[in-house]
Structures are given as C-alpha cells and as structure tokens.
Structure 1
Amino acid sequence: MKKYYLHNGTENIGPYDLDELKAKAITKNTQVWCDGMEDWKNAGEVEELKSILSVVPPPIAKRPEIKPEPIDSNKKTHWFWRMTRVLGILIIVFVAIIAFVDYMNAKNSSSSYEESIMTIGEMEVADPSSYLNATGTYKPTFLGDQLKINGIIENKATVTNYKDVVIEVIFYSKTNSEIAREQYTIYDFFAPNTKKEFKLKVKNYSNVETIGWNVFNATVK
C-alpha cells in the first residue's frame, strides 16, 4: 500500500496511508506526494485518493444590499410645478408667434395700402382732367357781347390737390357745329373729394347757339 506525504505550506508531513489521509480530511487541493511521483500533485489529480477527499462547499456569495429608494413626499408637487412651468413657456411661445404673425400682416397691409395710395396718386397727377369735372349754367350779359358762366368744379381725386384749373369753353352753332374754343384759368385750390363754385365771363361769338365747357388741365398743388 502506498503512503503519501502532505505539505502543510511550510514542511512535509507523513507518510500516511489511505485511512490516515481520510482522517486528515484532505481536499482536492491538498498537496500530496508518494514514491514514484516526479513532483507534488493536488490530491484531486490522484485517482486513488479521489474516494477519500472531503468535499468543501463553495463560499456563499454575498448578495449586494439593495436599499429601498426613499419615498419623496414632494414628488407629486415637484411634477406639478414642472408641468406648470412647461405649460407657461408653451403659452408664452404661442402668444409670441401670434403677435409676430399679426405684426407681419399689419406691416404687409400697411405696405400694400401705401403702394396703392402711391399708384392712385401717380394716376391722378398724370391725368388731372379725368378727376376734375366742371358743370353749371350760363347766360348772356346785359349787352350780349359776353356770356356769364356760374359753375362748379368737383375734384374727384382721392389724394391729390389741384390748383389753377384750366377750363376749355366750346362754342357751337345752331347746327351744332363747333365755332371756336377758348381756355380760361381758375386760379384757386381744389382739395380731394370737394366741390367749389367759380364764375367766368367769356366772349360771345356771333351765330353762337350754345356753349359747353370741360376741364382741360390743372396744376398739382
């Protein structure tokens, strides 16, 4: 029967037979040697010793300690205030967007209005006779050598002021043929959308049956 030596970490002890090794309660990691071995081996590597090895249970792994999360009594309150702040920011952004859109619309409307006014003004300046209208009545003077016109000049322009309106008088025969034309200037101011009376004496030609008149031109104030 083989006898084995043990190594306790500092020296060799033994030899022991199988019964003595069993009493020593050796484990698979115990260093053993017997005659015929080239070097020390773990007892678990020797087939003869496997039946007497003591089984050592593995160490119990320490479970990590799980600490319960403390309950925040103010958690609901914090959530409410966070939502309130977010809602407030959204409302401010929404109001700012509406204000910006209104501003741009107003600006565009103002620009369009100004452009429209400029266009109308340019048209009124270019063609005064289209916006000035002269009406009235006439009769011969006491001697009959002149005709006295009592008329009204209406300025239908939207923005343009006129002055020095030129009236063109047309003389017609009884056959409605044109006899002559004459121009007279009314030296006065005519504001937009207003009417103003004027009086005018013109030459009375022979063979004149009727006369008519209209605005020939005017100066922009």
Structure 2
Amino acid sequence: MIIFIAMNTKGIIITGILQILFFLIFFSSCTGKGTLGYEASKLSLEEQEKIAPVTFLEVSGTFRENLVGETVVEGKVKSTASVAKYKDLVLSVIFYTKTNTYLGSEDFVLYEFINPGSEVDFKIKTNAPNGTEQVGLEMKEASSVD
C-alpha cells in the first residue's frame, strides 16, 4: 500500500488523485481471468483425456480354466478420467509360460460405455495356447465419446 504525506491542501488533492488512479489501475487489472483460467484448464484436461484414453484406463483381472478347457478371464476396467467418457475398449489378453516366455496374445473389444471414475466388469472366454501358466492384461485402445 502506498501512503502519501501531504503538507497542504494542494498536496492533499494530488494525494487523493494519485490514490484514486492507483486503485483504478489495480482493480482494472483484475479481469476475472481466474474463472476463465479454470474453464480453460478444465477443457485442456478433457482434451488430454480424449487424446490418450489408455492413460486413464486401468485393467485388472484373474483367469481360470473352465470344465470344457476354455480359459476364462474375468476382471474390471476402471476409468481414472475426471471428465472424458469412453467406449469400445480394446483389451489384449497376453499368454505366458511359467518362465514368463511369451506365447501369444489375443485382442477383444468390450462394447461398453465407461463414465469418468467408474468401472466396467468383463468376462472373456478364449482358448489359450498350450503351456499357458500366466495371463497378462493390457488396455490397447478406446474411443472417446463426444
């Protein structure tokens, strides 16, 4: 804050004018960009989530063999996005031996919508290659919903 000391009436008038100018300049610089800045950052977050959906989707699950010899993979896809909604999730099931040797992979499309912060359950039946002892899951891609 600026404090002026005036000795006479002329100085008091000048001091008053300078203080008024100071406050006008100070308050005119406050244009309310805080709200616009928040909206802009919110939009940029939405754009980031739409550009790289895989970054905001986490997949987890388990596998077992059913009575007819199929490998059943069950799990969840969780969205960590704050704004973006996704659909048509492409999930890769990766097959490994007990020594972590890669045997192959298979892609599956989950035709589901997933909202920000929500989860989608899935169940996939497939025929794993001989020697499969471990199964990995990877989210390969997804489409953002406009």
TM-score by length of 1: 0.51
Q: Which of 1 and 2 has greater Rg?
A: 1
1:143 aligns with 2:63: no
Consecutive unaligned residues in structure 2, runs of 5 or more: 1-19
Which of 16, 33, 36 is matched with 1:108 structurally? 33
Given residue 218 of structure 1, which amino acid in structure 2 is its aligned partner?
Answer: A
1:211 aligns with 2:135: yes
Tell me the residue number matched to 1:202: 126
Q: Secondary structure at the match of 1:158?
A: coil
Tell me the residue number matched to 2:59: 134
Higher-strand-fraction structure = 2
Given residue 117 of structure 2, which amino acid in structure 1 is its aligned partner?
Answer: N
CA positional deviation for 1:202: 2.0
Q: What are the within-5 Å matches in structure 2 for residues 35-184 of structure 1?
A: 101=27, 104=30, 107-144=32-69, 146-184=70-108
Q: Secondary structure at the match of 1:125?
A: helix
Distance 1:137 1:208 in 2: 14
Distance 2:95 2:49 in 1: 28
Distance 2:49 2:126 in 1: 28
CA positional deviation for 1:133: 0.6
Deviation string 1:143-181 (CA, Å, 9 cap, x unpaired) is 21x211221110001110000100011100122111101
Q: Which has the higher contact order (CA 8 A, sep 6+)?
A: 2
Q: How many residues align?
A: 124
Distance 2:119 2:74 in 1: 13
Q: Secondary structure at the match of 1:122?
A: helix
Distance 2:91 2:36 in 1: 37
Distance 1:200 1:112 in 2: 44
Consecutive unaligned residues in structure 1, runs of 5 or more: 1-93
Tell me the residue number matched to 1:47: none
Deviation string 1:21-76 (CA, Å, 9 cap, x unpaired) is xxxxxxxxxxxxxxxxxxxxxxxxxxxxxxxxxxxxxxxxxxxxxxxxxxxxxxxx
Segments of 4+ in structure 1 off by > 2 A?
Answer: none
